[in-house]
Amino acid sequence: MAALIEVRDQLDLPENLVLAVLGKLKTHPTSIITEYRHGLLAARTFSIRTFTPPQPLGQTLSQPTPRADTPRSIPEQSFLSDNSITKIPASPSKKDADYKRVPMDSHHDKKQPGGITFGAQDKLPKLPIPDLEQTVKRYLNALRPLQSSREHGDTEQAVEEFLRNDGPELQEKLKNYAQSKTSYIEQFWYDSYLNFDNPVVLNLNPFFLLEDDPTPARNNQITRAASLVASALEFVRAVRKEELPPDTIRGTPLCMYQFSRLFGTARVPTEAGCQIEQDPNSKHMVVMCHGQLYWFDVLDDNSDVIMSERDIALNLQTVLDDAQQIPIREAAKGALGVLSTENRKVWSGLRDVLTREPGSNNADSLNIVDSALFILCLDYTEPPNVAALCQNMLCGTSQVEKGVQIGTCTNRWYDKLQIIVCKNGSAGINFEHTGVDGHTVLRFASDIYTDTILRFARTINGQAPTLWTSTSPDPSKRDPASFGDVNTTPRKLEWDMIPELNIAVRFAETRLADLIEQNEFQCLDFSSYGKNFITSMGFSPDAFVQMAFQAAYYGLYGRVECTYEPAMTKVFLHGRTEAVRPVTDESVNFVQSFWADNPAEQKVEALRKASQKHVDATRICAKAQGCDRHLYALFCVWQKHVNEKMHSSRSSDGYSSPLEGYSDAGMSPVGSPPKTTGESMDGVEVKPTRERGGSTGSRNREHVHPLPLLFADSGWDRLNTTVLSTSNCGNPSLRHFGFGPTSGDGFGIGYIIKDESISICISSKHRQTRRFVDTLESYLLEIRRILRITNRKASVAGAQKGSTRAREAEEAHKKPVVHKSSSETASRLKSRGRLITQDSLRSIRQAPSGTMSPTEESVTVSEEDDELGGYGFFDAGMLLQALKARGDKFDGSETKASERAAVQARRRDVGKKLRLSEY
């Protein structure tokens, strides 16, 4: 007992872990304490895990796991490290195929002779490390509008101290570290995702909602699913044969590395964090229906498709018929996919339960799911509206019937790329975000959507074009023997539902249902205008919409908050994203000007300056010259340096990327329309935060090696606590795109700017999401009205010029007729009638004097627009005073004493004065 107390007190560990350590190692307490402080205890107790009730699941998970006896080949190179680590095998792969864990920071991409997909990889520049002084300058600029004067002064002092002491040294260490790396941020970036223990659903995985098939007859579940799968398989083939044309932006090639990690991959949790595993030779797909899993082969050893669309449809119908044989309430009790929504450490323990017997049915079934090309989810529901559709694609639905969860949330496997098709044919994609950004998955979604249309067109006209350089030989004309060792008949995975798994599925589902109920989703399909109108007014579409978010939030809450938007950096080798900070001094000035009683011209001018500032910032970030990634890398280098000195490395190579929360996309954080002005890219944001360790080890580390003041300053936490996490990702193939909120009091905003519309999906943990959407819509209508007032002449000229080329041709051919001919009569006939133009319509509306007052002009221009919703009751003068009171430049001493006295006098006279006798 004395030994237990000594170890517990010295190491600040829970008693159950101390008992397990003492019982297993039979080591003197002093030795245990010494080894723990030098990072050795973790290696010796690799198979020990703690787990909270209920029993008997906890007893099972606390037992040693026979991982080392599992015969699966894994290369010595790790995703988490460049150095070799202890192998973590899993169950035997189907047909003895190697199931490899692939290092994500390796840039030695295998190239085939003549391959074009990765042809430009060797020519791409490495991600540059920004200048330290420029980084901290941009850091201060990003924080200034978010802080009070006093807070910003503290941050400036922290930055000055950082530049004098820790900063230059960390910068040199980062440069030395980056010399042997493909990218200075890549390993830290992956660690930040893979060391994230919270569930990936609603926290990490973004979604795409595809547009419906333009052929209505094909919008049924089986036809749509088979069509998407057939196109997806051709995309897989194009990537593997390196025939997929590389992405470019204005002629500059982009890094294509992420496409090699899109298929046959899975996020697999382990005791030491998650890892990405990949079967580069995967040939099969998995289908989920009513929470049950089926699989069949779809490619041969040459990556050629061995099933036609009709064959796939037949298989899917067979799967659907079989899944419906079991009542949905019974099937839900064995829906193992819900385990992928658990806390990552819990899910790791449950995987140990599934694989504790090498070669068992559960172990093999789990490996088949992990190594599949992708998952196809066939849902049995038809979401009633677009918001419900978005929720279904992001996290599934929660519907409890007689105490049993029968919603689609149990029909998912979130560790892999998923194609989701509803009963009515509505389709979407949910993807694991660690190794791929939204820009990569957008290319996949766009190409398969386009291919479904072109393939249908070829059934009408065999000469219709195709996306692919080459296509698979027609499976119906091939000798079946040429397919090789394949299983094309669907096979259902039957799990051995031991008591531990039954209990785990139950509690995972109830926790997931809680998580779903904590979030809400609202959508805005804004169809009044889009990219064409915005550009005609001289604005960047992305900057224009970003200012709309700022104005809507300020109009609802009267303040600005930290906002995140990712910018794509794939012009560099293995580039991912950089963080754009839309809140600037110019944006604050705009929202305050907009909501005050100012002339329309002043509001537009403020909007123009704020938008230009955002465009400039985005360009800087697209060149990888932002401040967020650079500072986070410096933070990770500091931690590496400290860990090395303390001899307590927390990862296999001494690096650790502490994350207390997730934000991006980020998702993130997280999106990337390849051809949008401003180039706002990717989906979800990763939020690096200062580690608030509670253990004795972390306290000792910070005591001996204090955290650099820049990272200890409140500004660091402020910039990394995102309230508005936004991402622009999409094109006409998508109906919506989105992700969950990145903080408890924040909004997750995914948006797509189309030519004539804007699609916005907003999520939050039950803030006023619907009201925020309504405010945003009112703003978009109001700003159009203001722009039309101030740009009426330019707008009319632009409309006449851009509406039709035919009118330009008409003007160009108006020439005086010198000689009468047979064409003169035709010309005379064509000139009959009164021309109908915008100017002629306006002349009819004008007063007899031919002039219009500003008020009349405003009414004329905006007669089809809505006003600002519920904001009409605001007195603009009062609002202006309120805005001045909020501003830093407002000084009450500027008001004359006589004026203040007059105001007080008026206040004293307001209201009925009651006599005491009246009470």
Catalytic residues: 433
Cα 577 from Cα 568, distance rounded (Å): 4
State residue 457 phi and psi, 5-degree precision: -65, -35
3-state secondary structure of 341: helix
Cα 825 from Cα 802, distance rounded (Å): 30
- Packing angle of the helix pair 541-557, 585-594 (nearest 10 deg): 60
Long-range contacts of range 137-143, CB-CB < 8 Å, 24 or more positions apart? 138/620, 138/625, 138/626, 138/627, 139/627, 139/631, 139/715, 139/719, 141/584, 142/581, 142/583, 142/627, 142/719, 143/715, 143/718, 143/719
Measured over the CA atoms of residue 359, residue 365, residue 370 and residue 371, the dihedral's sign is positive
State residue 726 phi and psi, 5-degree precision: -125, 155
Tell how far CA 233 is from the center of its chain. 24
> Residues with Cβ < 8 Å from 613, sequence gap 6 or more?
584, 586, 587
What count of other Cβ atoms lies within 10 Å of the Cβ of residue 458?
13
Parallel, antiparallel, or unpaired for β 284-289 and 375-378?
Answer: parallel
3-state secondary structure of 207: strand
Q: Give the CB-side neighbour count of residue 441, counting CA atoms within 13 A.
A: 34
Q: What is the DSSP letter of 77?
A: B
Answer for the pair 591, 560: CB distance below 8 angstroms, yes or no.
Answer: yes
Helix H or strand E encompassing 527: none
Burial of residue 761 (CB within 10 Å: 0-12, 13-18, 19+) is: buried
Q: Which of 727, 865, 772 is nearest to 553 (CA)?
A: 772
Give the DSSP per-residue string, 901-917: HHHHHHHHHSSPPPPGG
Q: Which of 599, 536, 460, 525 is nearest to 796 (CA)?
A: 536
What count of other Cβ atoms lies within 10 Å of the Cβ of residue 724?
26
Long-range contacts of range 608-612, CB-CB < 8 Å, 24 or more positions apart? 608/538, 608/539, 610/543, 610/547, 610/550, 610/584, 610/586, 611/539, 611/540, 611/543, 611/544, 611/547, 612/543, 612/586
Tell how far CA 589 is from the center of its chain. 29
Cα 803 from Cα 809, distance rounded (Å): 13
Tell how far CA 890 is from the center of its chain. 39
Looking at the DSSP assignment, which residues form a beta bridge with residue 686?
662
Tell how far CA 751 is from the center of its chain. 11
Cα 4 from Cα 29, distance rounded (Å): 8
State residue 79 phi and psi, 5-degree precision: -65, -40
Measured over the CA atoms of residue 279, residue 284, residue 285 and residue 290, the dihedral's sign is negative
Q: What's the token pair of residue 229?
A: 């799968």
